[in-house]
């Protein structure tokens, strides 16, 4: 079991609101949260927003309730894709810790599960699922280590959406058998957050087993973070970090020596 | 509705009936096994003020210390081991660490150091352990148990060096700790204070509170009927009522009250007063045992009430975390133990 995480807090321009959501999450017991920048590239050219530096948003990170360490805040990008051209992994994606995609059509869902370089695939919660989940792409995604996400804030806001959330989640669980699922809030206001144990119980409503439901808020979220970290590495094995620049005196440049020719005898 | 939804996570209430004078009675073993106690509450019906002997026992509960940012290897330090750990009667528990989220460290009075670690810490630390019983698909939680009284872990042996170097160099773990000791001599106190003075710590005494309840209905309990079939009330309802009394929840079930619909279980009788005494803090099991013995002598004088109840709560995130003893005049007792969904049945 690992720490509890909420990987979907909708970002907004209002810093105070964001701050209060993160403070509420820390108070409820979440050790890690991710601020989600949602992008819907309708036009041909849509800018990917640059994530705000986390320390700009919060000067002091609130301490998680029941522990002595402060809450960890990450940046996440979600692309709402209704066309294949919308998802183009550029360098801007690299500045986010997590990348998610919300496919609107069946073809895109298939492509996202099998080929796209994402960590999370979002499931519709505010509307009836336009397509059915097929076993082949879902199993392909599970093999690749991509996770499916269900948000519960819509269920708190409206009763009709509650039905859609539960129905879509149950149909997904039938196909994926409870593996590779995360449940996150999608909260726009602090009141839409719920405690981690409550969300683990909510997972029972989605026909997850008890262990799967708790993993959906803790262990699977940890796996998502690790998957996000490996996107910046070579096969998850080799990391590159920037070496800190040490101030050096200006030295005379030594003449560039010619490389000795190696004779292949 | 899907079949899984119809099954609720199970909870188990184990009720045991025995007599203190019975040689095979396991009450002392049970008390000593319940190592980390956070709160003790005693409910005495028909009692107005706390009897002097019980009050003096409670006031003499050992103090506990909260040490900030203590490295775990200090618990293995040689003089500390010799004086406090090996002599027994010393308990330590890491503070502000949740057992299902991060690493928790516990030192029992039997000399066992238990580290409950998450996967990353376990792999980095490199000590031998086994996967926890509470795992799901993949093992994410591991338990390392070190018996500090064992010969292989005496200072100087290779194994001791290895453990010490893991905790000191490979992965220095530092946590806030609760310490408590019981009946230690001056030497041990000196060693403890020498260790404590190197870090920031604060001494606390367990907080005691009394509350006299007037004119409340009390369930009737007969020692022979533990299941609540004829003479006593059902144990689930009894424990629920006991919890309501402890939390000061009204059990009148008045028609206009929306807050509480708890009722005192039948059969019941009305008592003019009852005393509720609560002790909160990090309490060692030896202290609990002394209180238990003292309560047994409560019935030596003529008393009106047929029963007295002692509830001991452990910490919230541990598995089986509370037990309840009900004493009767004839030295019979009932022991209720509650376990959660994942735990096995207590012996």
Q: Beta-carbon neighbour count of residue A247 at 10 Å? A: 4
Chain segment A165-179, per-residue pLDDT in tens: 999 999 999 999 989
Chain segment A133-166, per-residue pLDDT in tens: 999 999 999 999 999 999 999 999 999 999 999 9
At residue B220, the pLDDT reads: 80
Q: Which of B3, B66, B100 to mutate to test the interface with A (most CBs of A within 10 A)?
A: B100
**Cα three-residue angle B337-B338-B340, rounded to 5 degrees:** 150
B136 touches chain A (CB under 8 A): yes
- Pairing of β A147-151 and β A181-184: parallel
Query: With contacts defined as CB-CB under 8 Å, which chain A residues touch B138?
Result: 219
Checking if the pLDDT of A25 tops 90, the result is: yes
DSSP output for B201-243: EEEE--EEEEEEEEEEEEE---TT-SS-SSSS--HHHHHHHHH
Helix pair angle (A159-176, A135-144), 10° resolution = 80
Q: With H, G, I as helix, E, B as strand and everything else as coil, classify residue A176.
A: helix
DSSP run (H or E) holding A226: helix A219-230
Q: What is the DSSP letter of B265?
A: P
CB A105 within 8 A of CB A132: no
pTM, two decimal places: 0.82
**Residue A187 domain boundaries:** 5-232
Lowest mean pLDDT among A72-81, A107-116, B101-110: B101-110
Any domain includes A135 = yes
A219 touches chain B (CB under 8 A): yes
At residue B98, the pLDDT reads: 83
Residue B195: asked if its preceding bond is cis (omega within 30°), the reply is no
At residue A255, the pLDDT reads: 55
Calpha distance A25→A22 (Å, rounded): 5
> Greater confidence, A214 or A57?
A214
- Could B100 and A31 be called an inter-chain contact, meaning their C-beta atoms sit closer than 8 Å? no
% of chain A exceeding 90 in pLDDT: 53
Any domain includes A179 = yes
* CA dihedral for B57, B58, B60, B63, sign (positive or negative): positive
B5/chain A closest Cα distance in angstroms? 7
Query: If pLDDT is split at 50, 70 and 90, which confidence band does A258 have?
Result: low
Any domain includes A219 = yes
At residue A36, the pLDDT reads: 93
CATH of the domain at A92: 3.20.20.140
Q: With H, G, I as helix, E, B as strand and everything else as coil, classify residue B261.
A: coil
CB A150 within 8 A of CB A169: yes
Q: Looking at residues A46-70, what average pLDDT do you find?
A: 80
At residue B313, the pLDDT reads: 85
A133/chain B closest Cα distance in angstroms? 19
At residue B340, the pLDDT reads: 64
At residue B326, the pLDDT reads: 87
Any domain includes A88 = yes
Q: Looking at residues A97-124, what average pLDDT do you find?
A: 92
Among the listed residues B80, B103, B92, the one whose alpha carbon sits nearest the alpha carbon of residue B177: B92
A254/chain B closest Cα distance in angstroms? 42
Domains in chain A: how many in total? 1
Looking at B21-156, which runs of residues are DSSP E strands?
37-45, 64-71, 90-95, 104-107, 112-118, 130-131, 141-147
Q: What is the DSSP letter of B94?
A: E
| pLDDT tens-place values along chain B, 347 residues long | 455 555 666 677 888 888 888 777 778 888 877 778 888 888 888 887 888 888 888 888 888 999 999 999 888 888 888 887 777 788 899 888 888 888 889 988 888 899 999 888 999 998 889 988 777 778 888 999 998 888 888 888 999 999 999 999 888 888 999 988 887 777 888 888 888 889 999 999 999 988 888 888 888 888 777 777 777 788 888 888 888 888 887 777 767 767 777 778 777 888 888 889 999 988 888 888 888 888 888 877 767 778 888 888 887 666 557 788 888 888 888 888 877 655 555 55
Any domain includes A255 = no
- Could B98 and A67 be called an inter-chain contact, meaning their C-beta atoms sit closer than 8 Å? yes
Query: If pLDDT is split at 50, 70 and 90, which confidence band does A264 have?
Result: low
**Burial profile B90-127: b = 16 or more Cβ within 10 angstroms, e = fewer:** bbbbbbbbbbbbbbbbbbbbebbbbbbbbbebbeebeb
């Amino acid at each position: 079991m690992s720490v509890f995480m909420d990987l979907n807090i909708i970002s907004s321009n209002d810093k105070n609101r964001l701050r209060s959501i993160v403070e509420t999450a820390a108070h409820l017991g979440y050790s890690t949260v991710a601020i989600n920048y949602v992008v819907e590239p309708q036009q041909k050219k849509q800018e990917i927003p640059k994530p705000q530096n986390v320390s700009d948003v919060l000067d002091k990170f609130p301490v998680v309730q029941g522990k002595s360490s402060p809450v960890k805040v990450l940046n996440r990008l979600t692309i709402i894709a209704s066309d294949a051209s919308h998802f183009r992994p550029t360098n801007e994606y690299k500045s986010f810790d997590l990348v998610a995609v919300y496919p609107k059509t069946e073809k895109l869902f298939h492509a996202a599960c099998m080929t796209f370089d994402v960590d999370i695939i979002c499931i519709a919660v505010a509307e009836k699922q336009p397509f059915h989940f097929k076993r082949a792409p879902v199993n392909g995604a599970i093999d690749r280590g991509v996770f499916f996400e269900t948000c519960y804030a819509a269920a708190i806001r409206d009763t009709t959406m509650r039905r859609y959330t539960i129905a879509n989640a149950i149909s997904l669980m039938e196909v994926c058998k409870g593996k590779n699922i995360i449940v996150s809030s999608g909260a726009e206001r602090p009141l839409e957050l719920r405690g981690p144990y409550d969300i683990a119980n909510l997972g029972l409503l989605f026909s997850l087993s008890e262990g799967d439901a708790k993993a959906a808020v803790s262990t699977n979220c940890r796996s998502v973070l690790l998957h996000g970290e490996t996107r910046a590495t070579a096969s998850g094995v080799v990391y590159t970090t920037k070496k800190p620049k040490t101030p050096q005196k200006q030295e005379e440049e030594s003449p560039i020596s010619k490389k000795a020719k190696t004779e292949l005898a | 509705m899907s079949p899984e939804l119809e099954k609720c996570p199970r909870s188990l209430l184990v009720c045991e009936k025995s007599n203190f004078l019975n040689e095979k009675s396991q009450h002392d073993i049970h008390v000593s096994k319940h190592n980390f106690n956070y709160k003790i509450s005693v409910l005495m019906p028909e009692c107005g003020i706390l009897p002097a002997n019980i009050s003096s026992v409670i006031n003499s509960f050992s103090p506990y210390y909260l040490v900030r940012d203590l490295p775990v290897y200090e618990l293995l330090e040689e003089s500390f081991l010799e004086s406090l750990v090996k002599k027994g009667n010393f308990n330590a528990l890491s503070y502000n660490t949740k057992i299902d989220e991060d690493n928790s460290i516990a030192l029992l009075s039997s000399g066992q150091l238990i580290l409950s670690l998450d996967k990353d810490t376990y792999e980095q630390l490199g000590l031998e352990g086994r996967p926890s019983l509470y795992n799901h698909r993949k093992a994410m939680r591991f338990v390392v148990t070190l018996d500090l009284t064992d010969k292989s872990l005496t200072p100087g042996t290779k194994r001791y060096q290895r453990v010490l170097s893991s905790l000191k160099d490979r992965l220095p773990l530092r946590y806030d700790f609760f310490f408590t000791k019981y009946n230690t001599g001056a030497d041990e106190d000196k060693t403890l204070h020498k260790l404590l003075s190197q870090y920031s710590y604060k001494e606390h005494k367990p907080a005691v509170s009394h509350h006299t309840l007037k004119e409340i209905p009390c369930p009737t309990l007969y020692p022979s009927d533990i299941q609540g079939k004829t003479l006593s009330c059902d144990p689930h309802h009894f424990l629920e009522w006991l919890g309501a009394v402890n939390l000061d929840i009204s059990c009148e079930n008045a028609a206009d009250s929306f807050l509480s619909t708890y009722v005192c279980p039948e059969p019941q009788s009305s008592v003019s007063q009852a005393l509720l005494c609560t002790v909160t803090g990090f309490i060692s099991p030896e202290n609990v045992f002394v209180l238990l013995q003292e309560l047994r002598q409560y019935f030596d004088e003529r008393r009106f009430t047929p029963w007295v109840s002692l509830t001991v709560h452990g910490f919230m995130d541990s598995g089986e975390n509370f037990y309840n003893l009900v004493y009767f005049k004839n030295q019979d007792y009932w022991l209720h133990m509650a376990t959660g969904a994942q735990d096995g049945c207590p012996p």
